[in-house]
């Protein structure tokens, strides 16, 4: 079993799933058309299990080699936005949120609170390429590459509890 498959098997928190739509091929095609990009296969694998929601505590942080405004050695990844249109924030809200928060484009936002974001970054690869995963800090006006692709990003996730800096 690959590291990605190990993470995928326990990626989602076991909490409530109400309000989460089922991810179909038609929904994916529509989302890619609306976003103007091809979404990574590894992201779609996770979203077919559950279309967004709370990430299990075992995988709710991404280690970093550089300090950020969040922590000296990691950034949070406690929620992954889905695709389906329901009452939750989704990747389809990316264009509006990018404009509102003054982020570069083209990105697809995956997780964040406005002040900080984790996003698929299509600036170097174009709409049909494999995007990198990048951390954006709006207030500090900084960005930090986290992984060369989404699959590598997921394989690098770990528990925030493993870091001893007082951040959750």
Residues 83-109 have pLDDT tens digits of 976 667 899 999 999 999 999 999 999
In this predicted model, what pLDDT tens digit does every residue of 134-157 receive, in sequence order? 999 999 999 999 999 999 999 999
Please give the model's pTM, rounded to 2 decimal places: 0.92
On the question of pLDDT at 168 being above 80, the answer is: no
Q: CA–CA distance from 151 to each of 5, 39, 45, 53 (Å)?
A: 10, 12, 10, 18
Q: How many CB atoms are closer than 10 A to CB 31?
A: 22
In this predicted model, what pLDDT tens digit does every residue of 9-41 receive, in sequence order? 999 998 765 556 678 999 999 999 999 999 999
On the question of pLDDT at 79 being above 90, the answer is: yes
């Amino acid at each position: 079993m690959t590291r990605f498959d190990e993470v995928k098997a326990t990626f989602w928190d076991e909490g409530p799933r109400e309000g989460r739509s089922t991810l179909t091929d038609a929904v994916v095609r529509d989302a890619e058309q609306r976003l103007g990009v091809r979404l990574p296969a590894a992201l779609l694998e996770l979203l077919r299990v559950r279309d967004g929601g709370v990430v299990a505590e075992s995988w709710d942080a991404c280690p970093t080699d550089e300090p950020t405004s969040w922590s000296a050695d990691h950034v949070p990844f406690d929620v992954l936005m889905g695709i389906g249109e329901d009452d939750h924030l989704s990747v389809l809200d990316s264009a509006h949120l990018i404009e509102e928060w003054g982020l570069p484009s083209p990105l697809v936002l995956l997780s964040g609170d406005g002040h900080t974001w984790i996003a698929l970054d299509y600036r170097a690869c174009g709409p049909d390429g494999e995007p990198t995963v990048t951390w954006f800090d709006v207030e500090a006006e900084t960005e930090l590459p986290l992984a060369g692709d989404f699959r590598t990003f997921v394989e690098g996730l770990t528990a925030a509890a493993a870091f001893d800096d007082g951040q959750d």
